[in-house]
Chain A
């Protein structure tokens, strides 16, 4: 019995807000929509349907209440002590009633549009709803991508690793001569984790890739030149995979003996790890940002909508 309960609570904990309570709020939203459409079709007011008929005022009142309530989710989800429903229930209702708002608002304005604040309020309503639809898609899509990218690790761990790798690579580079040290220092400076809004959203892989290539070229130039000199003496059946280590080894040998060759190889390995790590961290940052970015549209547009809604309602009754 206890186990069943646990299973159920687990299942509920992982249940999407979309299917919350057996699509309860989808049903409520559909009922509201169907009722609104039926009333709109049945209603045949003098002068054609518009926001000023009794049905127009009714739909407008419903729409305004919906907007106020939908906006209230922003407060409710931060009020942990509230006992009025769960946040998931609120979110579920928020999504479905928010979608139905598009219909209510359209029927309220009865397809009359113009260059005025009334249509501005309508356009902002639709913009908020569209950004919300993106939000639903984002919440469905990005969490699994983020989990996949993290593979059990944490970003804090990665950042600590990165610092560690940087320290170790400088130390290694120091043993490989001032040129290598300089290049490694420069490459560390070029590591970009996060950054501005643009880098966070559209990725920062490019500078890191360039830095890596530059380091590789720097190491490669020395080693490759040397490798070509020593190739005739190397194993004839050397494969491309083995090439790098061979080259490094030979380069290391020629440049500073066996120890230095090992150091160079270690350094290259560290840099490769660093590249992988920065790519993952930046991908994590990017995915997190993409999952959140719609809120930077949705919430400010909601405030713009609230302003337009107030202006719409007040101006309509100022000039009744």
Chain B
């Protein structure tokens, strides 16, 4: 085997080659001076490798424990081909095609001087995190964009740019689209359940960027929401004109924030209403327990001249005025007698609920109804011989006619065993018997006389007059007039008291005066002190924490609507706008 060894050396910056031919069966490579190819590097063993024939091929074989890198890969044995680069220590052996009479040419070259190699190895070590590839700058900008792109750029582009996501109509496409960050990532909290069905459609309320949610967006659905007051002068004031729905209604706070129940929202004005609202008649209200005006229940005043009731508000601070005309005679004390009250069926003990039935609102009660609540005891029969015959309730004009009709028929039919009645009335008629003209006239005369007596008795004493105020009318057809009745109604306009919310309380725990009330004009509504027994302010720790909104509403104007053009006022400014 003839091998041309071409050794390259660096001399004054230029590569100089030195050729020699080795002719042997085995070509020895190593650091030893006896080697065919001597590689003066301490990391090379004395006898490192051998080049030898193996059949038709030439192979390089590393000695036990020695390392050779052929084209960058560690090998124990390798079949040499032209172009192979073999690294041993800091030397490189390159296999070249044979030239001339040699079988093989090997170029031997020092890759780096010993000095250079030391420098290189020092450079290869990473001694700090920065050298090991960590870059604060690079990591910082990576994280910056990893955050800002999905958190701001993509949602903004989808919302305000022309960006739309091409969503494949497959389950996979939908699932991928769900991962794309949208403006949902900006949602600061849970939507209220009322708005939950469009909670991911931010544009529904947030119409334009950097513009606060406008009232129009709210009123698009909440049409016809009442204003706070009807007074147009007040509505023109900044406190109303510049008020926004979102001042009180906070979205993205779950259900809690949707209606702000914070007293300061109300008391900021109501602590001194006159200071801001010219002509307001409201008393100052700063809180519930110490600075709240006395209740002003609505009471009725009957005007006999016009026969109408005027409803006025009277403060509970003025007990003398605290009476309400009803035009009924109804002593609560008698009806609530614990020993019972006389009834056709003997003594009967009445309970409040026998007459006061809650209505469906839970706030108030169904009106008292004569037929349902009174008639069982207060029967409207007018003749003791005919207990089934009654006069109709509520129709005084018909009462006289019914009585007259009854006695005329009876007199004509005969057989009426009334003392003092003429014989023609007392006598029973034979079947088919016709009364003579005189007889009939005499019978009807008695009937008229009897009717007049009974009508007088029914209206004035026994029936109508027992409960109602009855006056002679001077009209023969309807000789008596019953004064109109005003049943007690919801006494508070500006507040809502829910009886249903207090159903666990006994009636007399608030309306204890009822058992002692002798007059139907008594106003049996408890005063605010009774409320304060249980209800305290928002900051109270021993009583039920109650805010203004517990009893009062904001959108209480009768005429004016939020967001709608103002309606012309029908009354002078000073009397409208009775806001709670």
Q: Which one of B11-19, B163-171, B187-195, B462-470 is at the interface? A: B187-195
Cα distance A186–B260 in the bound complex, in angstroms: 78
Contact residues in B for A51 (Cβ distance below 8 Å):
188
Q: Is A42 an interface residue (CB 8 A)?
A: no
What 0/1 pattern do residues 253 to 270 of A give for CB contact below 8 A with B? 000000000000000000
- Residue contacts A-B, CB under 8 angstroms, 26 given: A44-B264, A46-B262, A50-B253, A51-B188, A52-B250, A114-B189, A116-B185, A120-B147, A163-B118, A170-B42, A181-B45, A194-B131, A194-B132, A195-B132, A196-B132, A197-B134, A293-B129, A295-B136, A296-B134, A303-B143, A306-B144, A307-B144, A314-B152, A315-B151, A316-B188, A318-B209
Main DSSP-derived SS at the B contact region: loop
Contact indicator B188/A300 (Cβ below 8 Å): no
Q: Is A193 an interface residue (CB 8 A)?
A: yes
Q: Would you give the shortest CB distance from A212 to chain B, in whole angstroms?
A: 18
Cα distance A317–B209 in the bound complex, in angstroms: 8
Cα distance A299–B264 in the bound complex, in angstroms: 45
B45, B145, B147, B264 interface centre (most CB from chain A within 10 Å):
B147
**Known interface pairs A117-B185, A303-B144, A306-B144; A200-B128 also in contact (CB < 8 Å):** yes
Contact indicator A300/B187 (Cβ below 8 Å): no
Q: Which one of B102-110, B210-218, B282-290, B451-459 is at the interface? A: B210-218
Contact residues in A for B187 (Cβ distance below 8 Å):
114, 116
Contact indicator A318/B253 (Cβ below 8 Å): no
Interface residue from A194, A200, A307 paired with B143 (Cβ < 8 Å)? A307
**Known interface pairs A116-B188, A195-B126; A315-B155 also in contact (CB < 8 Å):** yes
Within 8 A of A (CB), among B189-234: 189-190, 202, 206, 209-213
Spell out B's residues near A (CB within 8 Å). Answer: 42-43, 45-47, 65-66, 118, 122, 125-129, 131-134, 136, 139-148, 151-152, 155-156, 183, 185-190, 202, 206, 209-213, 248, 250, 253, 256-257, 260, 262, 264-265
Q: Which one of A144-152, A171-179, A220-228 is at the interface? A: A171-179
Contact residues in B for A117 (Cβ distance below 8 Å):
151-152, 185-186
Main DSSP-derived SS at the A contact region: helix
Contact indicator A170/B43 (Cβ below 8 Å): yes
Q: Would you give the shortest CB distance from A43 to chain B, in whole angstroms?
A: 11
Contact indicator A318/B136 (Cβ below 8 Å): no
Contact indicator B128/A112 (Cβ below 8 Å): no
Q: Would you give the shortest CB distance from A156 to chain B, in whole angstroms?
A: 9
Q: Is A236 an interface residue (CB 8 A)?
A: no
Contact residues in B for A194 (Cβ distance below 8 Å):
125-128, 131-132
Cα distance A295–B9 in the bound complex, in angstroms: 49
Cα distance A285–B127 in the bound complex, in angstroms: 6
Q: Is A320 an interface residue (CB 8 A)?
A: yes
Contact indicator B132/A174 (Cβ below 8 Å): no
Contact residues in A for B139 (Cβ distance below 8 Å):
296, 299-300
Contact residues in B for A188 (Cβ distance below 8 Å):
43
**Known interface pairs A118-B188, A304-B146; A197-B206 also in contact (CB < 8 Å):** no
Q: Is A155 an interface residue (CB 8 A)?
A: yes
**Known interface pairs A171-B42, A320-B210; A311-B151 also in contact (CB < 8 Å):** yes
Q: Is A33 an interface residue (CB 8 A)?
A: no
Contact indicator B210/A317 (Cβ below 8 Å): yes
Q: Would you give the shortest CB distance from A221 to chain B, in whole angstroms?
A: 15
Contact indicator A320/B129 (Cβ below 8 Å): no
Contact indicator B213/A296 (Cβ below 8 Å): no
Contact indicator A311/B45 (Cβ below 8 Å): no
Contact residues in A for B42 (Cβ distance below 8 Å):
167, 170-171, 174
Interface residue from B122, B148, B151, B190 paired with A114 (Cβ < 8 Å)? B190
Contact indicator B147/A311 (Cβ below 8 Å): yes
Cα distance A316–B122 in the bound complex, in angstroms: 53
